Amino acid sequence: MIEKVNHIGIAVNSIEEASKLYTEVLGLKIKEIETVPDQKVRIAIIPVGDIRIELLESTDPDGPIAKHISNRGEGLHHIALQVDDIRASLEALQKREIPLIDKTPRIGGGHAQIAFLHPKATKALIELTQPAK
């Protein structure tokens, strides 16, 4: 089911401002910045070894990242766990009565299939991700 931690998502007001810590201080490099219109977000992808840090900036004041920042401030948003078969993983979680935000996958950054587990059950927002092939 779970292969590895794929990425850590951090909600930020400004990718340009937040990325200075990662690039200028920590010496990391932004691989790319992409926009995912369906999720109303810009994502800066920063590789760190075999995983990534994703800086998440809202493109809409009513988007989920903007709402998260309004309620909780900037900071950790989610942890993404990579799976080999997202549909089978979601079915297994439903059978165990784990509450899901997404019962079917949707398309996320890098055209990966993604789905979120409800944080009420997991104590943190967890994303399942199956990278595009």
pLDDT tens string 40-78: 999 999 999 999 999 999 999 999 999 999 999 999 999
Q: How confident is residue 17, by pLDDT bands cut at 50, 70 and 90?
A: very high
The continuous run of DSSP H or E covering 2 comes out as: strand 2-12
Residue range(s) defining the domain that contains residue 48: 2-130
Q: What's the pLDDT tens digit per position in 68-116?
A: 999 999 999 999 999 999 999 999 999 999 999 999 999 999 999 999 9
CATH of the domain at 32: 3.10.180.10
Q: What's the rounded mean pLDDT across residues 34-44?
A: 96
Q: Output the pLDDT for position 1.
A: 79
Instruction: State how many domains the chain has.
Output: 1
Rounded to the nearest 5°, which phi and psi values hold at 130?
A: -120, 105
